[in-house]
Amino acid sequence: MKYFGTVKSFDPETGHGEIKQEAGGDMLRFDRSAFSWAKDIVPTVGQRLSYDKGTSNQQPAALNLQTI
């Protein structure tokens, strides 16, 4: 099942960011490795993305990020 949210923050140096879920709930962390597009293109704050929910380092995370 795909979920939707907007990028709340992204640090290009660490490759980590957070997504605000449209359905509500806690922010979800994501890692650069979760991008489904070129790794040199960084997400921007406010950008809407689709994602799958999963875990990374045993924490809730957004996976398989895609631009909409």
For residue 38, the domain's CATH number is 2.40.50.140
- Residue holding tokens 């660490």? 14
What range does the domain containing 58 cover? 3-67
- pLDDT number for residue 61: 96
pTM for this entry: 0.88
Q: What is the mean pLDDT of residues 54-62?
A: 94
> Cα(50)–Cα(57) distance, rounded to whole angstroms?
21
Q: What is the mean pLDDT of residues 35-55?
A: 89
> Cα(40)–Cα(58) distance, rounded to whole angstroms?
26
Where is average pLDDT lowest: 7-11, 33-37, 56-60?
33-37
Q: Predicted confidence band at 40 (pLDDT cuts at 50, 70, 90)?
A: confident
| Assigned token pair, 4 | 């939707």
Count the domains in the chain: 1
**Residue 33's Cα: distance from chain center in Å?**
10
Residue 3 has pLDDT above 90, yes or no: yes
| Assigned token pair, 55 | 């875990």
